[in-house]
């Protein structure tokens, strides 16, 4: 407990306060209450104190506050205020409670919740979005596309010659290669793009802007990134790892009619383009041929 007079100077501090904050009672008596407030918050505290003095009514505990110990470190506290006497010359009783353990438990709970949320939405091996999170992001973006707000595209990417790596070197080497490839793909994508591991050695990328031509360029950059990463890993693992490449199928949302801007359709068309890239010799990217010959048709169709 601390008692503060009308000039915001400490008139009384009990033993628990001195134990908590490292001051003796004599060191506190006569000092402004801001001596117990962290330096960065003192100016704001003066304004809050003035507001409280104008109202002069009990105030419940303020959470997420800190007090400053005599040696300078900060201590998490809750503070409740109540008036002593009436009028502008009344004093104030402040009840200060150490909530270090409570705050630590809350922080640990928030961290655990964030970890669980991350695990529910991300692939454990690569750290990329999982299928569930990607589906949510894709459907949300396609809704914007149908309203005519944005374009963008979808890239489906599948690794070539990956199975022999697992069969020959073991799954731990395969996992190492997948994780390295995921990092390389992430670096090759625009900053606002989304990337997910869609299956064992399958990846999908959501482009939030651009047209079919730019999406095809991004897809080729992803294919190049896979080749470079595989060659780097293969230098220490073996030639089978170095020979891993990727094939990519592209769907540009700018070329699709409104009715085709739905999850199932764009995923099917991306897969069809992907198989076309594999049939064309692999280690390359191919755009879906199932598109409008005149992109203006989509604009004339209007939002659905």
Note the pLDDT tens digit of each residue in 189-218: 999 999 999 999 999 999 999 999 999 999
Note the pLDDT tens digit of each residue in 68-120: 999 999 999 999 888 887 766 788 899 999 999 988 898 899 989 988 888 89
Residue 292: pLDDT band (50, 70, 90) is very low
Mean pLDDT, to the nearest integer, of 239-247? Answer: 96
| Angle between helix 171-188 and 212-237 (nearest 10) | 140
Distance CA 194, CA 257 (A): 23
Contact of 168 with 238, CB cutoff 8 Å? yes
For residue 154, the SS3 value is: strand
The beta strands (E) that lie in 108-266 are given as 153-160, 194-197, 202-207, 245-252
For residue 111, the surrounding DSSP H or E stretch is helix 100-121
Inform me whether the pLDDT recorded for 302 exceeds 50.
no
Residue 297: pLDDT band (50, 70, 90) is very low
Backbone phi, psi, residue 151, to 5°: -120, -125
Inform me whether the pLDDT recorded for 279 exceeds 80.
yes
CATH code, residues 2-103: 3.30.450.20
Inform me whether the pLDDT recorded for 37 exceeds 70.
yes
Inform me whether the pLDDT recorded for 263 exceeds 80.
yes
For residue 183, the surrounding DSSP H or E stretch is helix 171-188
Distance CA 287, CA 274 (A): 8
Note the pLDDT tens digit of each residue in 153-168: 999 999 999 999 999 9
Query: What is the rounded average pLDDT for all residues in the chain?
Result: 89
> Domain-by-domain residue ranges, the chain?
2-103, 128-301
CATH code, residues 128-301: 3.30.70.270
Residue 293: pLDDT band (50, 70, 90) is very low
Residue 223: pLDDT band (50, 70, 90) is very high
Contact of 168 with 240, CB cutoff 8 Å? yes
Highest mean pLDDT among 7-16, 47-56, 225-234: 225-234
């Amino acid at each position: 407990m601390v008692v503060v007079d009308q000039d915001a100077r400490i008139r009384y501090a009990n033993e628990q306060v001195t134990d908590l904050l490292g001051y003796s009672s004599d060191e506190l008596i006569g000092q402004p209450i801001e001596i117990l407030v962290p330096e960065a918050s003192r100016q704001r505290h003066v304004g809050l104190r003035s507001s409280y003095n104008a109202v002069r009514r009990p105030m419940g505990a303020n959470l997420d506050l800190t007090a400053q110990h005599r040696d300078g470190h900060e201590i998490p506290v809750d503070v409740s205020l109540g008036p002593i006497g009436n009028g502008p010359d009344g004093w104030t009783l402040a009840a200060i409670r150490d909530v270090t353990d409570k705050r630590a438990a809350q922080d640990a709970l928030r961290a655990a919740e964030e970890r669980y949320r991350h695990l529910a939405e991300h692939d454990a091996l690569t750290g990329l979005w999982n299928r569930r999170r990607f589906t949510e992001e894709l459907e949300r973006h396609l809704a914007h596309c149908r309203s005519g707000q944005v374009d963008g595209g979808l890239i489906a990417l599948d690794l070539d010659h990956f199975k022999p790596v697992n069969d020959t070197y073991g799954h731990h080497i395969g996992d190492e290669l997948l994780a390295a490839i995921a990092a390389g793909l992430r670096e090759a994508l625009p900053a606002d793009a989304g990337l997910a591991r869609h299956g064992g050695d399958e990846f999908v990328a959501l482009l939030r802007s651009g047209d079919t031509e730019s999406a095809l360029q991004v897809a080729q950059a992803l294919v190049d990134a896979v080749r470079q990463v595989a060659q780097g890993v293969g230098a220490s693992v073996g030639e089978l790892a170095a020979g891993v490449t990727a094939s990519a199928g592209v769907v540009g949302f700018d070329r699709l009619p409104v009715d085709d801007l739905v999850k199932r359709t764009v995923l099917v068309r991306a897969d069809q383009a992907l198989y076309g890239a594999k049939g064309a010799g692999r280690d390359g990217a191919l755009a879906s041929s199932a598109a409008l010959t005149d992109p203006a048709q989509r604009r004339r169709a209007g939002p659905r």
